[in-house]
C-alpha cells in the first residue's frame, strides 16, 4: 500500500532578526525539503501540491546556500502558527502599542491604532525579540522544534494598517485557491 502522505506545510516569510543571531544547527525542521529519493516517489506518495511545495523549499534552501544567506533568513511561519501568535497576544495589545507611541510637542507622532493590525504586531514582535536576545519570532519557534516554522515558500507584503484577522483570512483564501 501507499505510505502516509506528509502534511503540506506552506510557510509565510518571517521578519529577520539582528545580524549574527545563530540558529542552532541541531534543530530538525519539520518542513525540510525531502531527499531526491523521496521526490522520485520511492519512499512515499506525494500530491502535486506537496511535491510543488517540497521543490519550492528545496529551491529556497539551495539558493540561500549558494548566496551564503544565513539559514535564519529562510524561515517562515505557517498560517496556523500566525493564528496561534495572534491568539496569544494580550487582550490590551492595541492599547499597549498606542500608549507607546512617541510624542512630539506633546502630541502623538503617529495616529493611534484602531485595531489589532500590522503596526501593533510590529510593536509586540519587537518586544518579544528583545526578550529573546534579538531573535525573530520564527527563530525562537524553530529552535524549540515547533512544527509551525520551516523554510518560507511564500512571501507576503501587506499594508500594515490591515487588521491581522483580515491578513489571516486572505492567507487562508490564497491557500484554498492555490493548493
**Euclidean distance between CA atoms 155 and 14, whole angstroms:** 8
- Residue 57 is predicted with a pLDDT of 79
Please measure the distance between the N-terminal and C-terminal CA atoms of the chain and give it in whole angstroms. 25
* pLDDT tens by residue, 1-53: 433 333 334 555 554 444 333 333 222 233 444 444 333 433 444 455 555 66
**Euclidean distance between CA atoms 54 and 74, whole angstroms:** 14
* pLDDT tens by residue, 88-141: 999 999 999 999 999 999 999 989 999 999 999 999 999 999 999 999 999 999
Scanning the chain, the segments in alpha helix (DSSP H) are 36-39, 48-66, 79-88, 93-99, 118-131, 137-143, 164-177
- Whether 149 contacts 23, CB under 8 Å: no
Amino acid at each position: 500500500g501507499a505510505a502516509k502522505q506528509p502534511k503540506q506545510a506552506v510557510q509565510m516569510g518571517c521578519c529577520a532578526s539582528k545580524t549574527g543571531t545563530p540558529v542552532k544547527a541541531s534543530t530538525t525542521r519539520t518542513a525540510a525539503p525531502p531527499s531526491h529519493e523521496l521526490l522520485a516517489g520511492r519512499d512515499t506518495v506525494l500530491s502535486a501540491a506537496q511535491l510543488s511545495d517540497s521543490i519550492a523549499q528545496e529551491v529556497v534552501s539551495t539558493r540561500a546556500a549558494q548566496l551564503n544567506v544565513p539559514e535564519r533568513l529562510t524561515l517562515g511561519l505557517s498560517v496556523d502558527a500566525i493564528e496561534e501568535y495572534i491568539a496569544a497576544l494580550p487582550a490590551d495589545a492595541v492599547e499597549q502599542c498606542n500608549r507607546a507611541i512617541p510624542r512630539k510637542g506633546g502630541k502623538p507622532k503617529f495616529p493611534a491604532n484602531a485595531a489589532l493590525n500590522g503596526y501593533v504586531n510590529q510593536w509586540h514582535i519587537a518586544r518579544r525579540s528583545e526578550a529573546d536576545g534579538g531573535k525573530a519570532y520564527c527563530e525562537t519557534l524553530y529552535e524549540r522544534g515547533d512544527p509551525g516554522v520551516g523554510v518560507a515558500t511564500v512571501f507576503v507584503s501587506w499594508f500594515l494598517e490591515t487588521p491581522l484577522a483580515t491578513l489571516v483570512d486572505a492567507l487562508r483564501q490564497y491557500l484554498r485557491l492555490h493548493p
